[in-house]
Amino acid sequence: MKLELRRATAIDGPALAKVHVSSWREAYAGIVPSSHLRDCTVGFREKSFRESLASGGEETYVAEHSGKVVGFLTLGGCRDLDVDSCSTGEIWGIYVSPEWWRKGIGRYLCEQGEAILASRGYAFVKLWVLEANDQARAFYEAMGFECDGAIKQVNIGATLAVVRYQKRFDEESAVGINNSFQRT
């Protein structure tokens, strides 16, 4: 399997929306209220992605296999007020279509996100995960992230706790930017 990584544009809105909605419905079943997952539609998310990407409000990268978007990564400076935004980047989200899970795509996107942020001089990367999302928490812990103790509440159809993870970059983190991935 070969993947290509490229910067997303507004034209990618429909593909990003499909990946986002299908991954939310699969990963958050039993965590997020089913009514919220049902109401999270491709049409609504497509509009949101198109607007955000057209305005430059999001820095998103897509992973494509044979011209089809199978996952994406959104990142930027850390948005949290309690951290030094000059030294801390943030992975805002990694989403992979459920049919492509467990093929190394999430790992590849995470590693590339880290490499992009490290290449910009950030010393740390942070990200937020739903506290009840054991699968995502295990993934990020396997990637070397650790809880930093911060917890906040978000309302996505119900009030849910999210926990913050962080990772400190080493000297080699910025070296690994690679716009293609090959897995045999």
Please name the helix (run of DSSP H) or strand (run of DSSP E) that holds residue 34, with its range, or none.
helix 34-39
Domain-embedded: residue 102: yes
Structural domains in the chain (count): 1
3-state secondary structure of 110: helix
Domain-embedded: residue 150: no
Domain-embedded: residue 160: no
What are 93-136's pLDDT values in tens digits? 999 999 999 999 999 999 999 999 999 999 999 999 999 999 99
What are 131-141's pLDDT values in tens digits? 999 999 999 99
Q: Say if CB 109 and CB 8 are below 8 A apart.
A: no
Q: Say if CB 5 and CB 63 are below 8 A apart.
A: yes
**How are the residues of the chain apportioned to helix, strand and coil, as percentages rounded to the nearest 5?**
40, 35, 30
Domain-embedded: residue 169: no
Domain-embedded: residue 158: no
Domain-embedded: residue 55: yes
pTM: 0.90
Residue 58 scores a pLDDT above 80: no
Tokens of 22: 């299908």
Q: Say if CB 124 and CB 169 are below 8 A apart.
A: yes
Domain that holds residue 44: 2-126
Please name the helix (run of DSSP H) or strand (run of DSSP E) that holds residue 137, with its range, or none.
helix 134-142
Domain-embedded: residue 166: no
CATH value at residue 69:
3.40.630.30
Domain-embedded: residue 135: no
